[in-house]
Structure 1
Amino acid sequence: MDKMLYTAVSGATRIMEAQTIRANNLANAETTGFKADLERVNAMAIPNTQGSFDTRVLALTQSSGFSQQGGAVNPTGRKLDMAIHDQGMFSVMVDGGEAYTRAGAMIADGEGQLTVDGRPVLGVDGPLVLPEHKDLFVGEDGTISILPSEGGVIEEVGRLKLVNSDMAQMQKGPDGLLYRRDGADLPQDEQVRVKSGFLEASNVQAVSELIASMDLSRQFEVQVKLMKSAEKLAEVGNRLLRNV
């Protein structure tokens, strides 16, 4: 009975971990540039002992990846809202290093520094800072130009560091940003293109996540019933031993 109970508990634990992943995805269904986390499970057969049959299998949650599918690109009309066309990522500064994201809702703080979710946006020559300006223009290659407040000639003030990588070499950190698995910084990729006035939506498919959550809830109920069955069997066994 203890083996049955252990198997049921391990199954219930795995389901709770999967529900956490699904709940996080649903919570970020409206988060710009969010990549849905994936649920990865490995089946591990328990070796038979003392002549028992090799029929018990444990479910182990593996390191979860993320969906590489792109989200819908929606127009906003705001020039500092940017979306990557096809493949590529924006670069942001974190703790003195680099991280990468598809979120392009950029904001200039009081000092003109461009940020995404409070993190400085990196250009090819370092963090991007915008001088006071009357108008702003963003080229497809990430070049940012401004019309100065006092008027005059349009001048280039920097260029976004746009990078690309095989997503199999990337991993998502606890902060939701993407990092290279080897910890190295990605180089500028001249082929990446950006569209100003657009934002990429989350790639979470809310209906699919809800259906998966409901299915996980039913699986959890099955595991709980197995635990109760194991408890009843243990009680019956104890009563038989007391009557001997």
Structure 2
Amino acid sequence: MDKMLYTAAQGASRIMEAQTIRAHNLANADTPGFKADLERVAAMRVDTVAAALPTRVLAHTQDSGFSGAAGVANPTGRDLDLAIRGNGLFTVQTQDGEAYTRHGGLVADANGQLTIDGRPVVGIDGPIVLPEYRDLFISDQGMVSVLPDAGGVIEEVGQLKLVNPENADIRKAEDGLFYGIDGNELAAANDQVQVDSGVLESSNVEAVSELIAAMDLTRQFEVQVKLMKSAEKLADAGNRLLRDA
């Protein structure tokens, strides 16, 4: 009875972990540039005594990375909204060093410094600070230029640091940002990455698929709970037999 109970409990625990991944994806279905987390389940054989048959197998949820599919590029008409064509990432500064994101919603703070979600945007030559300007232009390679408020000649303010790593070379952290797999900063690849201005990439989460998967996991959890209740009933029946013997 104990084996049955522990196997069902382990199955229920695995399903709860999978539900957490699905719920996290659904919660970020409207987050610009969000990459859906994936799950992978591995079968783990339970070691037994030498004379017993290896019949017990438990499921274990493993980190399977993230979906690399691109989200839909939605026109916004805002000059500081950017979307990357194909592969590539923007670079932001965090307390742990450089991090990378597909979220291209740039915002100038009170000092004119460009940020994404409150984090400073990293440029090729350092932070990018906008002066007072009449008009702003961002090239397809991330060069930021402005027409000064007083008019005159268009000035180049700085160039965004764009990177183009392989998926195997980056990891997704709990804050939703990407970091180099070895902790090192990635090299700029502005000649390989192109951006469009006035559009913003949506999340690549397929909400309907995630919702269906969550519903299926709920049914699986109910099955595991029924198995645990059955194990409890069998244990009670066995105890009654021993008491009446």
Q: Give the TM-score normalised by structure 2.
A: 0.97
Aligned mates of 2:234, 2:127 — CA distance in 1: 65
Report the counterpart of residue 213 of structure 1 in structure 2: 214
Aligned mates of 1:4, 1:52 — CA distance in 2: 16
Aligned mates of 1:104, 1:69 — CA distance in 2: 16
Structure 2 counterpart of 1:177, one-letter code = L
Matched, 1:163 2:163: yes
The Cα of 1:241 is off from its aligned counterpart by 1.1
Look up the SS of the partner of 1:65 in the other structure: strand
Moved more, 170-179 or 61-70: 61-70
Cα RMSD, aligned residues only: 1.0
Aligned mates of 2:50, 2:139 — CA distance in 1: 71
- Deviation track 1:95-118 (CA, whole Å, cap 9, x = no partner) reads 161000000001001100100000
Report the counterpart of residue 229 of structure 2 in structure 1: 228
The Cα of 1:4 is off from its aligned counterpart by 0.6
Aligned mates of 1:43, 1:130 — CA distance in 2: 54
- Deviation track 1:16-48 (CA, whole Å, cap 9, x = no partner) reads 010011011001101000000111211101133
1:45-56 mapped onto 2 (5 Å cutoff): 45-49=45-49, 51-56=51-56
Matched, 1:109 2:124: no
Aligned mates of 2:111, 2:4 — CA distance in 1: 63
1:1-244 mapped onto 2 (5 Å cutoff): 1-49=1-49, 51-95=51-95, 97-189=97-189, 190-244=191-245
Structure 2 counterpart of 1:227, one-letter code = M
Structure 2 counterpart of 1:228, one-letter code = K
Structure 2 counterpart of 1:19, one-letter code = Q
Look up the SS of the partner of 1:62 in the other structure: strand
The Cα of 1:62 is off from its aligned counterpart by 1.3
Q: Give the TM-score normalised by structure 1.
A: 0.98
Look up the SS of the partner of 1:212 in the other structure: helix
Stretches of structure 1 lacking an aligned partner (at least 5 in a row)? none
The Cα of 1:144 is off from its aligned counterpart by 0.4
- Deviation track 1:161-193 (CA, whole Å, cap 9, x = no partner) reads 000100112111111000111001011102111
- The verdict on how the C-alpha distance between 1:180 and 1:119 changes in structure 2, with shifts beyond 3 A counting, is same
Look up the SS of the partner of 2:66 in the other structure: coil
Percent of aligned pairs with the same amino acid: 65
- Deviation track 1:117-151 (CA, whole Å, cap 9, x = no partner) reads 00000100111111111110000110000000111
Look up the SS of the partner of 1:146 in the other structure: strand
How many residues matched? 244
Look up the SS of the partner of 1:24 in the other structure: helix
Aligned mates of 2:119, 2:78 — CA distance in 1: 19
Structure 2 counterpart of 1:220, one-letter code = F
**Is the 2:38–2:63 contact (alpha carbons within 8 Å) kept by the matching residues of 1?**
no
